[in-house]
Structure 1
Amino acid sequence: MSALTDLLAEWMPHQRWFGGKGREWASVAEDGFFLDEASPVLSVHRVRIGYADGAEETYLVPLSWRSEADEEVAHAYVGSVGDNHAYDAMRDRDATVPWLTHLVAASTVGPMHFHPAGVAYIPEGLPGDVISGEQSNTSLIYGETAILKLFRRLEPGLNPDVEVHEALRGTDNPHIAPLLGHVEIDGDPGTEPATVAFLQSFVPNASDGWRLATSSVRDLYAEADLHADEVGGDFAGEAERLGEATAAVHRDLAAVLPTAEVGADWYAELATQLTARLDAAVGIVPELAEHADGLRALYADVAGLTEPTTAQRVHGDLHLGQVLRTTTGWIVLDFEGEPARSLAARRELDTPLRDVAGMLRSFDYAARHLLVEQPGETQLAYRAQEWAERNRAAFCEGYAGASGTDPATSPLLQALEADKAVYECVYEARNRPHWLMIPLTSLARLAAS
């Protein structure tokens, strides 16, 4: 391996966006090119990792280079190759300008192609500020105008985030931030280009849905004698409006992207998938075993459904952290789906109830996350359940009012919510064991139903 390959192999496992933590590597290779040769020099690298189990992944790593170490970007230091010092270019403000410069020019640089959407102003010449806290991707905010999302893990094909925003562009849906452009990179011969990044309008002065919801929960906990509908920070009105926004997005997705009528065979296959995921999860999280029979019965009910329904493109990973509240309403973000799933799986047609279930799970998390450090507080647990039920119901009422269909009446919704909670159990067991109580509590309710 080259010195740079060795350096990246040492550095990457410590980055939040790297998805192969804990896996044994069998091989690693790197290829790169210069995106900008000003100061600092900006290069882009594809790092191909082969794992011991035979799986492979490719990650995108932009680097900035300086001939002398720079203390101002010491926080982004990657390492040195000879006399040159490498930095994480997404955290080096001076190296973030060329991305938008090339988008405005619709450039092709080496294997990389820049595609402006041609519908709005792109703030050329501004540096970008990295958003902290992201996991699977890296995003830069340019002033108060645009946000660039870099997809760290590369797969051939158009990323759903770009595909969905392009399709919705003609609908003038008020719950979507407009697409400004995207970037692709050529892959191996015979494969589609992979989406590298996409740029959309930034929504300034907006509030994150998770923060708003959890602030409401804190207000409730602080009021010993008031119910959820009596607290000044009651969130139910916002939950209802969020349900309306979700239904509006689903309506427009069905209008501009493919749909399909599905029936008994689809339900049977879905039930098989749900059961298989449960069986695998029980092997990882033993605490799931006591709920397994009830969940299998829930899934068996899905297998018996025959009423035709429409499958369509959906968000795929909808939760309170994926929505913003502006002065005029809710904005839905991040249509890429669950990054851990393959690109093909994320582009499959599904039921809109998948997104409804994801948001219902998010309300449960918002209600109960403060109980993690206070597991014995039965009074707070009661209040958390009251808040969750109130806001879950409000969201479904808003969705029903806007769509004409009440999701709460579907037997499929409970099964999809259970499937999401099973996934959460595996995640929490591996990453935050002390949070495992949140999905387990929900599964006890769902299994008993």
Structure 2
Amino acid sequence: MSEDNQIDGRLDFKYESSWEELLENERFNRELCNDILQPYILKQRWYGGKASALKYLEIIDSFPIEDQNDRFYGVVLEVNFQEAFVQNYFLPIAFITDQSVVGDKIIARLRLNGQEGFLVDALLLESFRKQIFLKILEGEKYRYKEIAYRRGRSNTIAGYESSRLMGVEQSNTSIVYNETCILKIFRRVYVDENPDYEISKYLTMKGFFKNTPKYLGSITLKFSDKNVITLGLMQELVPNKGDAWEYFTHYLKGVFKELSDQKPKLETLRPVKYLEQLAVTDVSSAILAWCPLGFFEDVSNLAMRTAQMHIGLGQERINTAFTPQPFGNDYSVWLKNRLIYQFENRINLVENNLHKLDGLQLELANEFLSNKKVIRKQLLDFDEDKLKSERLRIHGDYHLGQVLVHERDFYIIDFEGEPESTIRDRKVKQPPIKDVAGMFRSFNYAIYATIFNNHEEYDYELNELFEIAEVLYGNIVGVFLRTYIQEVQQANLNIGYIKEIEFLLQYCLLEKAVYELGYELNARPRWAIIPFKGISNILNQQKYE
């Protein structure tokens, strides 16, 4: 980049083009990719390629988003990495002359036909947010070539009142409209329908699952004759006091404080049998003395909502994207190939990070490595001939952070699937028990995170807290399982008999814990102790069955 492109240390580019003609300017397109957007996207929270080396950017599609007053552009970028893979991102852009509207959140300074201004993310502008909202309300009237705005049948919103960006940006950007609905703009996009859009629409229109935000509309890009890209999903805004992770970890902190104050003898806290089903009334009085009955009632209610979600996803008989399927050899081959590849990746990751670990974390890491043959054998020990249940479209990334809490009820959100998986893999039908296993691992995380973050405050040794954790976790699992199994079986959802359920649950728990290990070692190594401990507990519990 030449010094001519720098003013006061900020990017400055000059073009003999108007804003309306700018994307037809070859030099602008080249510099937009090479000089303007490369440094910009690296700083964005929604950019998911920070762990890889960016090779080059390319615009694979662009289109105007306009009304009688304003013109914006939608740009779909292909990010090519040195490691020979690509990711696609969506960025709506705008040209403004008043920087005060966005503060320091500019992409670059532009001079277009001598007019000075700024290139910015269009989502920062209320005029853009209002325009796309109104186009969704108008529906097909605002089809522009390959771009389609659709209004859901359950959308009863009359008009535009207000908009604001929601909280801290993560992998997507969400806009709250009229304080009644939310439009999620997908930043990382795929040449396929986004599973969040597919499942949200299905559960609203056909699955009739009430405890998820209603589908209200969408924005899609027809990328080719047979492929679409989902750019936006509009849903109702569910009033809430935060997610279930915040809710239950806050609860657990109080539970462990009460436990520490009472200091019961550990021998009075008897563990339940592994995967034993419990009614809420079956929880022992010794545990209820320091963990309130309301806690287990909430666990049971969350299990019921989970079951109802699966019942909604499992009743389709016409739409092949949602019809349940039996297990078969194709699925087993897909599953084993995927999991063994993932497992070998985790082994390498652990071996390469051993020098960073110490104490209990190092001890558990070495235990994991010494058990690698046992774990590999368990992952390969998947025999579809013994399974009589059916596979469904599932949530796929189900944990406490994907559930909103409102007046002690639970609303399930974010059906995009595992971030590490390809878009095709996220749509593979899987045993609904995998979602249950994901929630169990999340409760396990919540318990151990409470211990690791606060154990100095509790009047117990760490190994004693671990013992208590397993007793509490066993009761949570038991209560959740009892409610979930009763609910799905009453609805005739085929999840198999108890031995099959238990086999799938153990298999999926191990799969989930191995998956978590990769995330933690890459993103927050201090937390890797939780999946290490989870894997250790899963293997040790199975020894004593």
1:403 to 455, 466, 488: 488
Query: Contact between 1:45 and 1:60, CA under 8 Å: does it hold in 2?
Result: yes
User: In 2 relative to 1, CA 131–340 (structure 1 residues): closer, same or farther, beyond 3 Å?
Assistant: farther
SS at match of 1:74: coil
User: In 2 relative to 1, CA 374–43 (structure 1 residues): closer, same or farther, beyond 3 Å?
Assistant: same
Q: Which moved more, 1:285-294 or 1:254-263?
A: 285-294
Structure label with greater radius of gyration: 2
1:387-414 Cα distance to aligned partner (Å, 9 max, x none)? 3332222221221120126778521211
Where in structure 2 are the equivalents of 1:120-131 lying within 5 Å? 120-122=155-157, 124-131=159-166
User: What letter is aligned with 1:430?
Assistant: N
User: In 2 relative to 1, CA 355–165 (structure 1 residues): closer, same or farther, beyond 3 Å?
Assistant: same
Match of 2:508 in 1: 416
Match of 2:362 in 1: none
Query: Contact between 1:314 and 1:355, CA under 8 Å: does it hold in 2?
Result: yes
Where in structure 2 are the equivalents of 1:160-171 lying within 5 Å? 160-168=195-203, 169-171=205-207
User: In 2 relative to 1, CA 213–374 (structure 1 residues): closer, same or farther, beyond 3 Å?
Assistant: closer
Where in structure 2 are the equivalents of 1:62-73 lying within 5 Å? 62-70=92-100, 72-73=101-102
CA distance in structure 2 between the partners assigned to 1:304 and 1:63 by the alignment: 49
CA distance in structure 2 between the partners assigned to 1:304 and 1:41 by the alignment: 55
User: What letter is aligned with 2:403?
Assistant: V
User: What letter is aligned with 1:250?
Assistant: H
Match of 1:323 in 2: 403
Post-superposition offset of 1:332: 1.3
Query: Contact between 1:428 and 1:435, CA under 8 Å: does it hold in 2?
Result: yes
Q: Which moved more, 1:408-417 or 1:355-364?
A: 408-417
SS at match of 1:109: coil
CA distance in structure 2 between the partners assigned to 1:58 and 1:269 by the alignment: 25
Match of 1:153 in 2: 188
1:62-100 Cα distance to aligned partner (Å, 9 max, x none)? 234311211x52253333223221333334445321221
CA distance in structure 2 between the partners assigned to 1:307 and 1:248 by the alignment: 22
Matched, 1:100 2:192: no
Post-superposition offset of 1:360: 0.8
Q: Which moved more, 1:367-376 or 1:431-440?
A: 367-376
2:44 to 2, 15, 21: 15
Query: Contact between 1:115 and 1:181, CA under 8 Å: does it hold in 2?
Result: yes
Query: Contact between 1:316 and 1:338, CA under 8 Å: does it hold in 2?
Result: yes
Where in structure 2 are the equivalents of 1:333-348 lying within 5 Å? 333-348=413-428
1:80-126 Cα distance to aligned partner (Å, 9 max, x none)? 22322133333444532122111012212353210111322236323
Match of 1:4 in 2: 32
CA distance in structure 1 between the partners assigned to 2:342 and 2:63 by the alignment: 41
Query: Contact between 1:264 and 1:307, CA under 8 Å: does it hold in 2?
Result: no
Query: Contact between 2:296 and 2:476, CA under 8 Å: does it hold in 1?
Result: yes
Query: Contact between 1:299 and 1:415, CA under 8 Å: does it hold in 2?
Result: yes
SS at match of 1:2: helix
Post-superposition offset of 1:325: 2.6
Match of 1:365 in 2: 445
Query: Contact between 1:215 and 1:233, CA under 8 Å: does it hold in 2?
Result: no
User: In 2 relative to 1, CA 75–203 (structure 1 residues): closer, same or farther, beyond 3 Å?
Assistant: farther
1:143 to 139, 153, 178: 178
Query: Contact between 2:67 and 2:131, CA under 8 Å: does it hold in 1?
Result: no
2:472 to 387, 390, 393: 387
Where in structure 2 are the equivalents of 1:195-206 lying within 5 Å? 195-206=230-241
Q: Which moved more, 1:294-303 or 1:250-259?
A: 294-303
User: What letter is aligned with 2:51?
Assistant: G
2:348 to 283, 289, 294: 283
1:261 to 317, 326, 329: 326
Post-superposition offset of 1:47: 1.5
Query: Contact between 1:421 and 1:439, CA under 8 Å: does it hold in 2?
Result: yes
User: In 2 relative to 1, CA 398–144 (structure 1 residues): closer, same or farther, beyond 3 Å?
Assistant: farther
Structure 1 length normalisation: TM-score?
0.91
Identity, in percent, stands at 24
Match of 2:309 in 1: 249
CA distance in structure 1 between the partners assigned to 2:219 and 2:378 by the alignment: 43
SS at match of 1:313: coil
1:182-215 Cα distance to aligned partner (Å, 9 max, x none)? 110122x444111111101111145411111111
Match of 1:28 in 2: 57
Query: Contact between 1:17 and 1:152, CA under 8 Å: does it hold in 2?
Result: yes
CA distance in structure 2 between the partners assigned to 1:316 and 1:203 by the alignment: 21
Query: Contact between 2:313 and 2:394, CA under 8 Å: does it hold in 1?
Result: yes
Where in structure 2 are the equivalents of 1:76-91 lying within 5 Å? 76-82=105-111, 83-91=116-124
Q: Which moved more, 1:81-90 or 1:375-384?
A: 375-384
CA distance in structure 1 between the partners assigned to 2:390 and 2:438 by the alignment: 19
User: In 2 relative to 1, CA 244–233 (structure 1 residues): closer, same or farther, beyond 3 Å?
Assistant: closer
Post-superposition offset of 1:133: 4.1
SS at match of 2:404: strand
User: What letter is aligned with 1:4?
Assistant: L
CA distance in structure 1 between the partners assigned to 2:143 and 2:307 by the alignment: 39
User: In 2 relative to 1, CA 67–336 (structure 1 residues): closer, same or farther, beyond 3 Å?
Assistant: same
Post-superposition offset of 1:313: 0.9
Match of 2:520 in 1: 428
Post-superposition offset of 1:148: 0.8
CA distance in structure 2 between the partners assigned to 1:98 and 1:64 by the alignment: 13
Matched, 1:350 2:430: yes
CA distance in structure 1 between the partners assigned to 2:508 and 2:452 by the alignment: 24
Query: Contact between 1:270 and 1:303, CA under 8 Å: does it hold in 2?
Result: no
User: In 2 relative to 1, CA 207–431 (structure 1 residues): closer, same or farther, beyond 3 Å?
Assistant: closer
Query: Contact between 1:302 and 1:412, CA under 8 Å: does it hold in 2?
Result: no
User: In 2 relative to 1, CA 340–276 (structure 1 residues): closer, same or farther, beyond 3 Å?
Assistant: closer
Q: Which moved more, 1:79-88 or 1:146-155?
A: 79-88
User: What letter is aligned with 2:483?
Assistant: G
Query: Contact between 2:327 and 2:384, CA under 8 Å: does it hold in 1?
Result: no
Post-superposition offset of 1:379: 4.3
User: What letter is aligned with 1:79?
Assistant: A
Q: Which moved more, 1:127-136 or 1:425-434?
A: 127-136
Post-superposition offset of 1:310: 0.7
CA distance in structure 1 between the partners assigned to 2:126 and 2:350 by the alignment: 43
Match of 1:274 in 2: 339
Q: Which moved more, 1:32-41 or 1:250-259?
A: 32-41
CA distance in structure 2 between the partners assigned to 1:122 and 1:425 by the alignment: 44
Match of 2:251 in 1: 216
User: What letter is aligned with 2:93?
Assistant: L
Structure 2 length normalisation: TM-score?
0.76
CA distance in structure 1 between the partners assigned to 2:518 and 2:75 by the alignment: 32
Match of 2:212 in 1: 176
CA distance in structure 1 between the partners assigned to 2:373 and 2:158 by the alignment: 56
User: What letter is aligned with 2:378?
Assistant: L
Count matched residues: 447
